[in-house]
Every structure is written in structure tokens, then in C-alpha cells.
Structure 1
Amino acid sequence: MIGQKEENTCFFTGHRSIPESKINEVALRTREQIYHLTAQGYKHFICGGAVGFDTIAAVQVAKVKAGGADIKLILALPCRDQTAVWKNTDMLRLYQKLKGVADEIVYISELFTEGCMKERNRFMVEHSTACITYFNGRRVGGTAQTVRMAKEKNITIFNVYSPVKE
């Protein structure tokens, strides 16, 4: 599937840190956007495999697919050793489970390099026409950079972020 820009491909980008009180709401909004795009003919959904929104998004794609939707989960991972420094065993198990249900896994680099995360983000932008994001509007960071890249490519962006009142 991945080799060129696909008209029916959406990618996800978002923050790693999501308040615990908002996770279910973010998951629901993400799933609703996946259904919306699926109804418009989107078939491929690319997730970057990071902790936080990437994981929430991948789980939602897997749920929609398990419900009978004809869609594919593609993991675009920055490197094979991405989880080498992860300490949370629950997240490691979920990561392995998502790799098991993915229809395709693309590794941007064999080993971690200084630029592999940015290259992963560029890859997702270059192969998509839509983006679902959890973006708080801050101007710095990987999510901000990826959203800017998507805007430069005139990619349709759906933001599932809502201000958190705590």
C-alpha cells in the first residue's frame, strides 16, 4: 500500500500526554472521525506508534476494523528499537498487540537516530490526504511541526482536542 500518496489515507499525530480524565472523550472523538472518514471512502489509517494519542488512535482504528469496516491499520514506526527506553510494561504489551493487529508496519530507520521521529512524521504527511490530530495549539514540538507540514501540503485536518478544565 505505502509507496505513494494515497487519496484515501489518513494519518494521526498528537501529544504524548493526555489528561487521564480526557482519554475516553479523546478516544470517542477519534473513533467518530474515523467513521466519518471511512464513510467518505478512506481505507488506510497511519499511526506513528508513540505513547499517548498515537496509541489511542491505533486502538480506535483496530476497534472500527474489528466492527467490520474495510480499513487497514498501518504503523509507521520511527525505528525498530523505539521502545528501548519505555518503562511502562502495560504500554509495551499494548504496543506489541497493536503491531500484531497492524496490516502493515513501515520502519523509517533500523536504529534510533536524531531525526527518525521527524522523518516518520514527514512520511505520514507525504502519504496522506487527511489528518486526525490531538493538538493543543502550542507552536513547538513534534505535533506542532507535523500539523504545520500537513497544512503546507493542504491536508484536511480534524482536531479532536478540546480545552481541559481541571
Structure 2
Amino acid sequence: MKCCFTGHRYFPWSSDLESSEYQVLIERLDRAIDQVLTKGVIHFICGNAVGVDTWAAERVLQRKANNPEIFLEIALPFSDHNRHEPGCQNIQSKADLVHVVSTEKSRIAAFCERNIYMVDQSNILIAVYDKNRSHSGTEKTVAYARKQGLEIIEIQP
């Protein structure tokens, strides 16, 4: 079984990783990852954007240290996505697979194609997002996952 993640890049407290809001979100993310592991998920797909994608990938890599069966795939929307972000590059270097999903010229189209790929490859979606933010890529990914019949674990920050 496979699980992918979606979530916002930025939250009002994103720059303060010591904040209680961040700590609560990470605790919820940890519980969700542990929950899907008990369901037999060993393959995780992250989009490797700053924010939720990075936090989720870090959490998966922590579990992989104790369980080498866990497989982390990074799905990039285009080949040089976040090449200047050291945290994203570090995660890519530790991933089992880095997959460039799109050859679209439009960045927006490439992100959409990447999100569809992740959902189409997965059984479960862990979504970390604010339902009050409309028209976001995360909101569209959750809607597509619902349409495809995926189990969705929602984490509201």
C-alpha cells in the first residue's frame, strides 16, 4: 500500500518551528503516519515542497531508520524544483526514488500533474491544510483524492 501527502507550504507560524502550533501539527502528522503504517503502508510519496511536504518526508525518514522496508519517493513537478532549498535537497539525497513527474512548460500545470500522479499512485492521502483556504493546490488535491475514492486523513492546523 502507498500513502501520499499534501499540505500548505506556509502557515502563519511556519518560521517558528518552536511554536506550539508547529509542535501540535507534527504530533498529529506523526500519529497519522503511524496509523497508516499499521495498515500496511510502506511506500510514501512526498512532493518535496517547503512546508508540509518537507515535514512529512522528514518524519518518514525517521521511521525508515528503524524500518528499512519503508520506501520514500519524492515526486518533483519539474526537474529543478527547489534546487536552492537545502532542506529539500537533503531529503532528495536520502529518498529511495526521486521521480520527475512532468515536462509541462507551465509551472502550475506541472504542480497539478505532480499532485494527480501522487493521488493516482496511492491508497491513502494525508492532508494537512486549512479548509478555509480556498482555491489552493492542496484543496484541489484533496478533492481529486475524494473523487478517486482514496482514504483521506485530514489534519487541521
Same fold (TM over 0.5): yes
Deviation at 1:56, TM superposition (A): 0.6
- Cα offsets for 1:108-166 (capped at 9, x unmatched): 1357523100000000011011011111113311000000000001111111223xxxx
Provide the residue aligned with 1:96 in structure 2.
89
Query: Gaps (5+ residues) in structure 2?
Result: none
Deviation at 1:69, TM superposition (A): 5.7
1:81 and 1:111 in contact (8 A); partners too = no
Provide the residue aligned with 1:80 in structure 2.
79
Provide the residue aligned with 1:133 in structure 2.
127
Say which of 114, 117, 127 aligns to 1:120.
Answer: 114
Q: 1:112 to 1:83 in 2, by over 3 A?
A: farther
With normalisation by structure 1, the TM-score equals 0.83
1:78 and 1:112 in contact (8 A); partners too = no
The alignment partner of 1:82 has SS state of coil
The alignment partner of 2:49 has SS state of coil
* Greater alpha carbon shift after TM alignment, 148-157 vs 92-101: 92-101
Provide the residue aligned with 2:51 in structure 1.
52
Measured in 2, the distance between the counterparts of 1:149 and 1:160 equals 17
Measured in 1, the distance between the counterparts of 2:65 and 2:43 equals 14
Measured in 1, the distance between the counterparts of 2:33 and 2:39 equals 10
Q: Work out the percentage of aligned pairs sharing the same amino acid.
A: 33
Q: What amino acid does structure 2 have at the position aligned with 1:100?
A: S
1:31 and 1:64 in contact (8 A); partners too = no
Structural mapping, 1:19-58, within 5 Å: 19=13, 20=16, 21=19, 22-58=21-57
Q: What amino acid does structure 2 have at the position aligned with 1:124?
A: M
State the superposition RMSD in angstroms: 1.6
With normalisation by structure 2, the TM-score equals 0.88
- Cα offsets for 1:76-126 (capped at 9, x unmatched): 010111126x5xxxxx22111101110111101357523100000000011
Deviation at 1:70, TM superposition (A): 2.5
